[in-house]
Structure 1
Amino acid sequence: MPRFARLFEAAADTLNAYYQAVADNSIDTVMSLWLDEEFATCVCADGTHLHGLENIRAGLGKQFEAQAVTIEPLDIRVYDSLGTVVYAVAEAHQPAASTGVPRMIYTTYVMVHERGEWRIAHIHASVMPAETAGQFAAKLRHGQGPLH
């Protein structure tokens, strides 16, 4: 299966490119990573549902205008098949101008292989409850890993 190993690593490259584009506050780069289909969807951590590339661009653009954010993935679970990769990620979202406590977010990324490249088809983010975030942080501090 070495032939497929690089195929799935390329999906991770797309996820990393997304994180970098968000940190750079570059809506054009973020949008270049999406599947070129109108069924693409995004559920933001604030509960906003965005359907279609035009709505995703407008919604994410508003978020980018409001505040630049750095996303740090803390725990990543990967589920893959030949044409789809799903990432379930616990993330810390830190506003660029802030030194305070980051928001803890659960995010699921669904990527599909299209024309030789991995593209984002769906993102679903939700705020981690405060109690869960505290438990998560405590486990990381004690070196147990987030899900032990």
Structure 2
Amino acid sequence: MPRFAHIFEAAADTLNAYYQAVAEVNIDSLMGLWIDEEFVSCISADGSHLHGLSSIRTGLAAQLEAAPVSIEPLDIRVYDSLGTVVYAIVEAHRPVDPAAIPTMVFTTYVMVHERGEWRIAHIHASRMPDEAAAQFSAKLRHGQGALH
């Protein structure tokens, strides 16, 4: 069983590398994390639907150059099986300006194990409605956890 624990930990490394590449606006590093297949897709928090590596590269580059952010995971749920890991995460997307209010986002990452490495196959992000964001923040402030 230790072998599987190591394999799934590597999926978290890919997710952390994604967050780092977003914060650095490093499109080449960001795109190096995706599976090398044209079926990949990304639905961004702004509602953009990006399909295929070329579309994802162009869309994410435009989004990050226009509004760079760092992503802080606040609540992580992991569902794994042999060859696939799904992360369901509540994230704070923090603008570069420290005075700006972060955007709360629900994001799902689907990762697949390909040639010994974990790669992103799909991302679906949705902006959290203001009322839900306020409730989520209040629960975190009161130490109740995200889903209590």
Range into which the TM-score falls when normalised by the shorter chain: over 0.9
Structure 1 alignment gaps of length 5 or more: none
Q: Write out the 4+ residue segments of structure 1 that deviate beyond 2 Å after TM superposition.
A: none
User: For 2:68 and 2:98, how far apart are their aligned partners in 1?
Assistant: 10
* Number of matched pairs: 148
1:63-142 alignment runs, 5 A limit: 63-142=63-142
2:36 aligned partner, one-letter code = D
TM-score (norm 2): 0.98
1:146 matched residue in structure 2: 146
Q: CA RMSD in A?
A: 0.7
2:35 matched residue in structure 1: 35
Contact 2:95/2:101, CA 8 A, preserved across alignment: no
What's the CA shift string for 1:53-84, capped at 9, x where partnerless?
00000000101210210000000000000000
User: For 2:98 and 2:59, how far apart are their aligned partners in 1?
Assistant: 22
User: For 1:66 and 1:75, how far apart are their aligned partners in 2?
Assistant: 27
What's the CA shift string for 1:98-133, capped at 9, x where partnerless?
422210000000000000000000000000010000
TM-score (norm 1): 0.98
1:12 matched residue in structure 2: 12
% identical equivalent positions: 72
User: For 2:2 and 2:126, how far apart are their aligned partners in 1?
Assistant: 35
User: For 1:100 and 1:64, how far apart are their aligned partners in 2?
Assistant: 16
User: For 1:68 and 1:51, how far apart are their aligned partners in 2?
Assistant: 21
User: For 2:26 and 2:63, how far apart are their aligned partners in 1?
Assistant: 11
